[in-house]
Amino acid sequence: MTDGTTTATVLAVDDEPDLAELYRVYLDSAYDVRTATGGEAAMAEMDESVDVVLLDRRMPDMSGHEVLSAMREAGYDARVAMLTAVEPDVDIVDMPFDDYKTKPVTKEDLLTLVEVLLHRAEFDEHSQEFFALASKKAALEATDATNTVEYDDLIDRIGSVRERVDDTLDHLSARDAFVEVPGNVP
C-alpha cells in the first residue's frame, strides 16, 4: 500500500480492452496503472503493491465476483470498486468490495473514485466496513432494490457497524482530551 511518498497503484480490470485502456489513460497522470482484460490476467497482475482495483463484474473467463473472492482469499487488502454495466441487485450485499459504480464513468468520476478509495484505506477497519456498506445501500437504492430481506439485513449491519465506529470515536475523543500538548500554554 502507499505510504504517502510513492505513487498509488491502480489495477483496472475490464474484458473490453478499449475500456481498460481508457481507464489507464484517465488515471495515468496521477497513478501507476496496470490493466487486465480478464480475471486470470487480473490475478496475474495482482500483488501487495496494488492499492485500488477497478473491477468489471461480467467477464468471460472469471466473473468479477470470482476475481474478488480470489483476491480476498489470497489475502490482498486493496480497496475494490466494482465498475460495471450490471445494475446492482441484492447479490452485492455480501460481496467484499468498497464501492459500486455503474458504467459509463467520466474521467472526473474515475479520478474521484480512486481518490476516495485511497482516502478510505487510511481509515480503521470499522470505518472502511461502514463506507463499503453505505455504498452498497446507495447502489441498491439507486435501482429501487429496497423491498427485500437482504436490504433490511444490510440496514441492520450498517447500524451495528455505525455503533462500533461511534464507540471508537468516543474512545478516541475521551483519550485525546487528556493528552498533554507540548509547549507553553498561557
Contact residues for 45 (Cβ-Cβ < 8 A; gap 6+) = 11, 34, 35, 36
Calculated CA dihedral for residues 113, 6, 39, 127, nearest 10 degrees: -50
Calculated CA dihedral for residues 39, 109, 84, 35, nearest 10 degrees: -20
pLDDT value of residue 132: 86
The rounded distance, in Å, linking the Cα atoms of 68 and 96 is: 7
- Reply yes or no on whether the pLDDT at 39 is more than 70: yes
Q: What is the mean pLDDT of residues 24-40?
A: 96
In the CATH hierarchy, which top-level class contains the domain 9-176?
A: alpha beta
Judged by average pLDDT, the poorest of 13-17, 23-27, 31-35, 135-139 is 135-139
pLDDT value of residue 5: 52
- Reply yes or no on whether the pLDDT at 34 is more than 60: yes
Alpha-carbon distance values, 5 to 1, 122, 177, 186 (Å): 11, 14, 31, 37
Q: Which tens digit of pLDDT belongs to each residue from 108-153?
A: 999 999 999 998 887 777 788 888 888 889 889 988 889 999 999 9
Name the band, by pLDDT with cuts 50, 70 and 90, for residue 169.
low
CA 79 and chain centroid, separation: 4
Judged by average pLDDT, the poorest of 7-16, 52-61, 149-158, 159-168 is 159-168
Please name the residue ranges forming H helices in 121-182: 125-142, 149-176
Q: Which tens digit of pLDDT belongs to each residue from 82-117?
A: 998 888 788 778 788 889 899 999 999 999 999 999
Q: What is the mean pLDDT of residues 49-77?
A: 93
pLDDT value of residue 186: 39
Residue type at 96? Answer: P
Kindly state the cell numbers that stand for 69: 473472492
Report the share of the chain in percent with pLDDT over 90: 54
